[in-house]
Amino acid sequence: MATEQVQYQKKAAMPTQHRRMTKSTLLRRSVFLFIGAALMSVGLEIFLVPNKIIDGGITGISIILSYLTHWQVGIFLTTLNIPFLFIGYKMIGKTFALSTFFAILVMSIGTALLHPVKELTNDPLLAAVFGGIILGIGVGMVIRFGGSLDGTEIIAILVSKKLPFSVGEIVMFFNLFILGSAGFVYSWDRAMYSLIAYFIAYKMIDVTIEGFDESKSVWIISDRFRQIGEAILDRLGRGVTYLEGEGGFTGEDKKVIFCVITRLEEAKLKSIVDELDPKAFLAVGNIHDVKGGRFKKKDIH
């Protein structure tokens, strides 16, 4: 009876533990969505908007409309994104829609609170660079934790089903049109600064989503495969796998080294291969997710 009672208590505790984990995950997501949306507010109201620099997508349209109507940019950010909340709910799901709504709400309130604050710089180049960095980190953080701050991607998904263009091509077309509009609304030098801000933000979004320790797959073909594999194990601390291969031209049997490293380890690995066999074939590719095995991303300090 005592054993059965203990087992019953463990089973009864499992749903509570699951709920606690769910609440913890929800709290973590909410915190990072809040930080990401707040950063975007800073990038907009402290750097881009006061210096007449725009971003792509709905954000760019909102900045232009704010300039033309003299209304706060947060009003347009909220109004223009609301329709995409319903579309996102149907296409992606409830969690995405709620995360997006929360992020947009925080961003709109943040822009309203920061609107009276004076910009940190009047230099458009500095504003484009730092505004793009902060904006990209904020947007990337929101995307990484399941939300969105722009409905352009949703439009692109719908349009791509009826036109022979990819989602990326449609988004690029939208953004080029919006960024080009800055030349007519402001001036052409502001349009060029906007392109700089957009490019920087785009790169920062990628870094924020993937992380500085983005995983990379490595394929190495060398007659000195054993020495290279042992050097990778000893000097990088990464496991390797030896695969059997056959040369397409020569028909000779070849050993192929496969391993997974982080972005920061790529230069070190290349130097190892070049040191041991300068004629070795080396191919490096990006990996969006790694799970299982002995691979573990190292902490970066």
With a CB cutoff of 8 Å and minimum separation 6, the contacts of 16 are none
Segments of the chain assigned to CATH 3.30.70.120 = 215-287
Per-residue pLDDT tens digits for 275-298: 999 989 999 988 766 666 656 555
116 burial class (0-12, 13-18, 19+ CB within 10 angstroms)? exposed
Confidence of residue 299 (pLDDT cuts 50, 70, 90): very low
Query: In Å, what is the CA distance from 134 to each residue of 19, 41, 45, 74, 101?
Result: 34, 9, 11, 17, 21
Six token digits for residue 261:
């490293």
HSE, CB side, 13 Å, CA atoms: give it for residue 273.
22
pLDDT tens profile 72-101: 888 888 888 888 778 777 776 777 788 888
- Indicate the class that CATH gives domain 215-287: alpha beta
